[in-house]
Amino acid sequence: MNDRIEIRDLRVMGTHGVLTEERERAQPFSLDIVAWVDMVEAQKSDTLADTVDYGILAQVAAEVVAGRSYQLLEALAGRLADALLITDSRLQAVEVTVRKLRPPLALDVASTGVRVRRSR
């Protein structure tokens, strides 16, 4: 399956990290979501009901990031992928990239992150 929906650089505030201060004060995260879905019907009909609504995917992802606090980006990314897969049964696979935009490092780094992929 090559058809996919892509959401790039969705910015969401969350409280994730190992350090206490990361879990007490919200910080920005950037998400990329790739969702594999058969688009043949949507291409024929030009109707939203025949595809997966990327607005719903973005909302689900934002709610997960803004919700429960995770220590590890790996845990957050896994939870995001699982939540997205159950959002719509037409999704065949999802790939989620989570970037921490202000990582607590004493080095000049733009972001740190992880990427996970889940499929049915």
* Residues with a known catalytic role: 100
Among the listed residues 88, 82, 71, the one whose alpha carbon sits nearest the alpha carbon of residue 119: 82
- How many C-beta neighbours within 10 Å does residue 6 have? 10
d(CA 95, CA 85): 10
State the DSSP string of 20-50. Answer: HHHHHS-EEEEEEEEEE---HHHHHH--GGG
